[in-house]
């Protein structure tokens, strides 16, 4: 029986050095079942490196981490060639690879089509299944990548800059969708983003990373000084909070 406090991701003393310089230094945190956590930090803070370690893309790190269950991953939008000859259906089906490997009986194989269409439809792009990915808009493509990540049957869902390349309308549809998915399936979400406003809106807890972890707090308790520990010398707007106003008038 899973309790709400069960730890899904536990990272301990994680460090990574490349080319003589320290990219990540002594990072420890944990994410419990049911949480949506945002990871913010400036360019070069090591956010993507941390993700690459978690998904097994980088192996020569020190320290350790443990994931209870499967990882679902939504990569950065710009890392994928949109002219690749592949349909939306095939992209989503990729998420079922582990399941397909285990599935042997005819009935299970038949389920695959059903599962893929269900995921596409729940992401609102069922009608685009037979389309080549190059013909999808930025928002539709992002939802397709979410459908694929969800088909991975994740306990931990990692979203790497899901807002990049998507317009405001696309963003709000995407996060409405994510909330619905959250309530029905309950994977833990770790979201990396440059959009601080968005992280505050979507995440319950926020971690600030700049080579090392500077803070990890519920989003309602975050202060300007917390944010300035990673984004120095910058006016920062925290939505539905008057910190920005205070900071600005002090100047």
Partner 1 sequence: MNLLTDFFQYQFLQYAFVATVFVAILTGLFSSIVVLKRMEFIGEGVAHAVFGGIAAGLFFGLSDMITALATAIVFAFFIALFSSRRLLTENNLIGIFMPVFMSLGVILLSFIDEFVPDILGLLFGNILLISLVDIYILVIVTFLAGLLFLFYRKEILYYCYDEQVARLLNVRVKIIHFLLLVGLAVTIVSAIKIAGTILVTAFLVFPAVVARFYARNFSLMLILSVACNLIAGLSGLLLSTYFDLPPGPVMVLFLFVLFLISYFHSHFLYQAS
Residue of 14, 31, 36, 91 that binds partner 1 (CB under 8 A): 91
Instruction: Collapse the DSSP code of 89 into the 3-class scheme (helix H, G, I; strand E, B; otherwise coil) and give the result.
Output: helix
Task: Name the minimum Å distance from CB 95 to partner 1.
Answer: 8
Task: Name the minimum Å distance from CB 27 to partner 1.
Answer: 20
CA nearest to 201, candidates 225, 171, 232: 171
Span from 2-10, 37-45, 89-97, 170-178 in contact with partner 1 (CB under 8 A): 89-97
Residue closer to partner 1 (CB basis): 46 or 154: 154
| Binding status of residue 84 toward partner 1 by CB under 8 A | yes
| Binding status of residue 87 toward partner 1 by CB under 8 A | yes
Side-chain-side CA neighbours of 57 within 13 Å: the count stands at: 10
| Binding status of residue 20 toward partner 1 by CB under 8 A | no
Query: Quick one: 182 exposed, middle or buried, by C-beta within 10 A (0-12, 13-18, 19+)?
Result: middle
Q: Which of residues 102-141 bind partner 1 (CB under 8 A)?
A: 130, 132
| Binding status of residue 57 toward partner 1 by CB under 8 A | yes
Instruction: Report the DSSP pairing between strands 188-192 and 156-160.
Output: parallel
Task: Name the minimum Å distance from CB 234 to partner 1.
Answer: 31
CB atoms within 10 A of CB 173: 18
CA 121/CA 185 separation, integer angstroms: 15
| Binding status of residue 86 toward partner 1 by CB under 8 A | yes
Contacts 24+ apart (CB under 8 A), 125-128: 125/88, 128/88
Q: Which of residues 25-54 bind partner 1 (CB under 8 A)?
A: 52
- In the DSSP assignment, the letter for residue 136 is S
Residues that bind partner 1 (CB under 8 A): 52, 55-57, 71, 73, 75, 79-81, 83-87, 90-91, 94-95, 97-98, 100-101, 130, 132, 148, 152
């Amino acid at each position: 029986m899973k309790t709400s406090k069960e730890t899904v991701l536990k990272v301990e003393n994680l460090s990574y050095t490349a080319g003589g310089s320290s990219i990540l230094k002594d990072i420890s945190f944990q994410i419990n079942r049911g949480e949506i956590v945002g990871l913010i930090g400036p360019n070069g803070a090591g956010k993507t490196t941390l993700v690459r370690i978690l998904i097994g893309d980088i192996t020569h790190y020190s320290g350790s981490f443990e994931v209870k269950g499967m990882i679902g991953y939504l990569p950065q939008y710009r890392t994928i060639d949109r002219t690749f000859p592949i349909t939306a259906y095939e992209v989503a089906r990729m998420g079922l690879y582990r399941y397909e490997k285990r599935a042997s009986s005819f009935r299970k194989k038949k389920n695959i089509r059903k599962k893929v269409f269900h995921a596409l439809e729940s992401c609102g792009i069922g009608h685009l299944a037979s389309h080549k990915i190059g013909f999808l808009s930025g928002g539709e493509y992002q939802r397709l990548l979410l459908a694929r990540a969800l088909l991975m049957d994740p306990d931990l869902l990692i979203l790497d800059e899901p807002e990049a390349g998507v317009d405001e309308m696309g963003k709000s549809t995407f996060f409405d969708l994510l909330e619905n998915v959250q309530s029905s399936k309950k994977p833990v979400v770790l979201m990396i983003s440059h959009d601080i406003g968005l992280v505050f809106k979507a995440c319950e807890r926020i971690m600030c990373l700049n080579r090392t972890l500077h803070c990890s707090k519920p989003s309602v308790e975050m202060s300007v000084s917390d944010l300035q520990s990673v984004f120095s010398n910058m006016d920062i707007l925290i939505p539905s909070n008057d910190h920005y106003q205070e900071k600005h008038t002090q100047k």
